[in-house]
Amino acid sequence: MQFPAAQIALLVNGKTEGDPTVMVHSFGKIEEAREGQLSFLANPKYEEFLYSTKASVIIVNEDYILRQPVTATLIRVRDAYSAFATLLSRYQEIKQQSLTGVQQPVFIAPTARYGQNVFIGAFAYLGENVTVGNNSKIYPNAFLGDNVTVGDNCIIHPGVKIYNDCRIGNQVIIHAGTIIGSDGFGFAPQADGSFKKVPQIGNVVIEDNVEIGSNTTIDRATIGSTLIKSGAKLDNLIQVAHNVEIGHSTVIAAQAGISGSTKIGKGVMIGGQAGIVGHIQLGDGSKVNAQSGVSKSVEPGKAVTGSPAYDYTAALRSQAVSRKLPDLEKRINELEAIIKQLLAEKVS
């Protein structure tokens, strides 16, 4: 597929600067791009490559000021990174539009139903009463248990397992190896020291426009639903326990763990390897720094760090003081020496 710069500019609501007829056929990083490729400049650290790259078309911010001439055609947009992401999404959509039909062998239960322009890959399993919406892609080796619902325009990547009764909304992407709806970690201590399993009879509900990375696990609720609200983005290798609620447009980085029944608000940002205990609340817009251990609720808009996590600004001040401790020790020793000398002179 080839596209002229002028057409690309229309897609991202940009303006061309240079030859609008130049053609591109693929994407490339600005430091490595070749002739016929499209790239972008959003991070100032890569500015030097703008003047040496072989890329034919480069997307830049509309207010970017050139320091010297460039050979590439520029497309000026309000936000270069966002525009480039839009183009990548569109390119991916075009590639996937031709991917339709049911490969063989698969198992599709007699009561399962799927919509138009669906792709179901080889060795996929669709259980009883499964529903898959229009334009969705179910890749090979995916498992959809009984009564699972998958909405329109979803992508279920290879090896994803969605247990019975779970509901997936529209425009949801679930990456390879992720498990939705496995049993929550519920065990009742017994008098003899053993543990009795508590049946997990709830489900997982994932709303629209959610993306979940590879090898993430989201446990089904004991009763009710584990809920991932619309627009949330979860990275790879995340553990979400039973009855957790994750709010709209919240983002969670890799290897984070969220314990049972915790409620996470809207627009929350959680860094990688953070651990969050159960039965607490993270308010709207709050932030949890990477590797933090959150043991109590966090107020809306507040940022926390450390283990146990506490106020981010106070933590930075403590770190600044800690770095000065050797100098402070030296000054204290000097002051003690002066005091001893003064006392000795007074006695004499």
Indicate which residues carry an active-site annotation: 242
The pairing of beta strand 225-228 with beta strand 203-206 = parallel
Sheet holding 155-156, edge to edge: 101-102, 119-120, 137-138, 155-156, 173-174, 211-212, 233-234, 251-252, 269-270, 287-288, 303-305, 310-311
Q: Are strands 173-174 and 211-212 parallel, antiparallel or unpaired?
A: parallel
SS3 content of the chain, % helix, strand, coil (to 5): 20, 30, 50
Computed on alpha carbons and rounded to an integer, the radius of gyration of the chain in Å comes to 27
175 and 193 Cβ atoms separated by less than 8 Å: no
Cα separation values, 56 from 66, 73, 92, 106, 145, Å: 17, 6, 21, 44, 48
